């Protein structure tokens, strides 16, 4: 938080009247200081805008699932609004919005994903497999539910935590969108965040609060071997299968890692916003 500017006024018992040239010199000096201050504030504003844009330019590889893995403890990071970060269950995929039907955009509530398109653990058929490069196998043939073609993506003003939403992926992630359930983990659950790198892959390591840790473990049990979406500023930046290499859900002990094909700069920007 910026500190308020404080002006200290001295009241000497006697002060000689300044000469006119000295007054002009002091006025010019004050003007230069004001210009430098305004210029500095403009630079700061540009940097902040750059960070905000960076959060939206992620390089996810589409809706293909990625595992969520534990991470090491992290140092403190800047606070962000609760709406900027959340993790939600992915109920099904939605095709791109088709506004050519001539119908008015449907309003809440969203329909239930049709059974053939539901991304449940039983439909995904996740099986740990040590002989597989990914460490597991899964059904990757589940298509997008066509009934959502007439539903536009959810706007930021209506992303209520307790409601289902439709959100797109980050740029380059493909045309399909995501139908998401209510928020399972929000920004308030995060205690610390930092950038981490493993084999050239940049990610964000999170340490949760005690309450957030219990909340997250409960969410993991409910979504085990299903897909969850990491949402940052209204876009799905990662959609991993929950603990796909394990046969049973286990506690994360308050630590997790978010990956999504980030560059180092993008990972740093996201970590700073958390």
What structural domains and CATH numbers belong to the chain? 57-99+108-273 (3.30.1360.200)
Strands 190-198, 185-186: parallel, antiparallel or unpaired by DSSP? unpaired
pLDDT value at residue 211:
96
Distance, CA of 209 to CA of 50 (rounded, Å): 29
Dihedral, 145, 147, 150, 152 alpha carbons, nearest 10: -50
Q: How far apart are CA 44 and CA 189, in angstroms?
A: 29
Distances (CA, A) of 118 to 89, 143, 145, 238: 11, 9, 8, 18
Phi, psi dihedrals of residue 106, rounded to the nearest 5°: -60, 155
> From first to last of its 274 residues, what are the pLDDT tens digits of the chain?
443 333 232 333 333 344 433 333 344 444 444 544 444 444 333 333 333 323 222 233 334 443 443 332 322 222 233 347 899 999 999 999 987 765 556 666 789 999 999 999 999 999 999 999 999 999 999 999 999 998 988 876 445 677 899 999 988 788 899 999 999 999 999 999 999 998 888 999 999 999 999 999 999 999 999 999 999 888 898 899 999 999 999 999 999 988 877 889 988 988 888 8
In 113-259, which ranges are continuous DSSP H helix? 121-124, 210-222
Q: What is the reported pLDDT for 103? A: 58
Q: What is the pLDDT of residue 236?
A: 92
Instruction: In whole angstroms, give the CA distance from residue 136 to residue 130.
Output: 7
Q: At what angle do helices 20-56 and 264-273 cross, to 10 degrees?
A: 110
Q: CA 224, CA 222: separation in Å to the nearest integer? A: 6
Pairing of strands 177-180, 165-168: antiparallel
SS3 194: strand
Task: State both tokens at 67.
Answer: 């595992």
Q: How many residues does the chain have?
A: 274
| pLDDT at site 101 | 60
Dist. CA 90–CA 261, nearest whole Å: 19
Res 258: pLDDT: 87
In the DSSP assignment, the letter for residue 248 is S
Q: What is the pLDDT of residue 44?
A: 33
So what's the pLDDT on residue 12?
35
Alpha carbon distances (Å) from 229 to 68, 127, 133, 140, 201: 11, 20, 23, 16, 19
Q: In Å, how far are 82, 220, 266 from 74, measured between CA atoms?
A: 19, 21, 17
The model scores a pTM over 0.75: no
* Cβ–Cβ under 8 Å, residues 148 and 79: no
């Amino acid at each position: 938080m910026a500190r308020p500017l404080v002006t200290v006024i001295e009241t000497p018992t006697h002060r000689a009247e300044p000469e006119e040239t000295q007054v002009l010199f002091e006025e010019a000096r004050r003007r230069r200081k004001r210009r430098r201050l305004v210029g500095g504030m403009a630079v700061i504003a540009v940097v902040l805008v750059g960070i905000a844009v960076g959060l939206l330019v992620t390089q996810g590889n589409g809706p293909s699932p990625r595992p969520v893995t534990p991470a090491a403890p992290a140092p403190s990071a800047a606070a962000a609004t609760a709406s900027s970060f959340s993790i939600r269950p992915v109920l099904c995929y939605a095709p791109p919005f088709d506004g050519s039907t001539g119908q008015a955009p449907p309003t809440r509530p969203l329909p239930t994903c049709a059974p053939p398109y539901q991304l449940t653990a039983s439909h995904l058929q996740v099986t740990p497999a040590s002989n597989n490069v990914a460490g597991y196998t899964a059904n990757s043939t589940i298509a997008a539910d066509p009934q959502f073609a007439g539903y536009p993506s959810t706007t930021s003003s209506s992303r209520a935590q307790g409601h289902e939403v439709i959100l797109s992926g980050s740029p380059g992630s493909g045309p399909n969108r995501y139908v998401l359930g209510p928020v399972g983990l929000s920004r308030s659950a995060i205690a610390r965040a930092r950038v981490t790198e493993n084999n050239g892959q940049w990610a964000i390591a999170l340490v949760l609060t005690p309450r957030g840790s219990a909340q997250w473990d409960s969410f993991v049990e409910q979504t085990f071997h299903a897909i969850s979406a990491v949402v940052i500023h209204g876009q799905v930046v990662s959609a991993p299968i929950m603990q796909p290499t394990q046969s049973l859900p286990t506690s994360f002990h308050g630590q997790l890692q978010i990956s999504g094909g980030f560059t180092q700069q993008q990972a740093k920007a996201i970590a700073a916003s958390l």
